[in-house]
Structure 1
Amino acid sequence: MAVNDHHNYLFLFSMFIFCFYSCRCEKVTASPKLVKKEVDALKEIAKGLGKKNWNFSYDPCSGEGNWILPNATKGFESFVTCDCSFATSTFCRVVSFRVLKAQNLTGILPPQIARLRFLKHLDLTRNLLKGAVPSQWTTLPLLEL
């Protein structure tokens, strides 16, 4: 092998290693996002309850937009808490859902909440929701309702 061939080989190998690690690092540092099925469920819940102030241009798990709005003076809360450790931290699931507390919402209890399959905490207090608890909710791992 000539010296030039050896240098070319080392250069190509170095570029391969650089590209490999650059791509891996970019993927690892990207923020995990809520899975599309759960975003779609939140959109259906909002539509069913007439909730128009959820900003879906932000990921609900990002903490940005209006997905986290504390207001202790009025008792109004709007929180989505996510667990982003799924599939080696590449996506998130909603585990706590307090985005509907004290908003005087009317209508029936949304069966679409059952599509948030990892939901452990659900707070719908201080609303005017009616009807029986949807049978679909029996599949949820709720610890607090």
Structure 2
Amino acid sequence: MNKKSGREKDEALRESFAEIKKAARELSGEKAEKLPEKAEKKSSEKTPEKKSGAKKSTAGKTAAKAEKEKSAEKAEKSAPKVKLCFEFFGRKIDEEDVRKRALKAAAEVKPGAKRVEIYIVADQNAAYFVVDGVGSADYRVEL
């Protein structure tokens, strides 16, 4: 009797994993492959929730999380690299340069700051920064 219940558990797990894989493929837009014959046969039979319910939901969350991570990685790889520059008063200002200089100045003001906000003020030819919500006229980087 123990062997039979062990076999039933194994079949229930196989079935639930096959369903999870199928759902993941459908979410990603791929065509779902056919389930193995045994799983198809068992899917028509009613399986008790007690045996496969908890394992199915945990495995489903894991599969969904893995699929979401793959999608994020794919989008990140396919996204173009962006370089942001500002042009005003006949000058070209590189965003990355301003960011580095402002972060360096902010680190001198408050080492280990959690948040730095940078504001570019074109008519003053400067970038002002706020460190952890505190700003000052002295918190300035010349452009």
In the superposition, the TM-score normalised over structure 2's length comes to: 0.24
Task: Point out the structure with the larger helix share.
Answer: 2
Bigger relative CO (Cα 8 Å, ≥ 6 apart) = 1
In the superposition, the TM-score normalised over structure 1's length comes to: 0.24
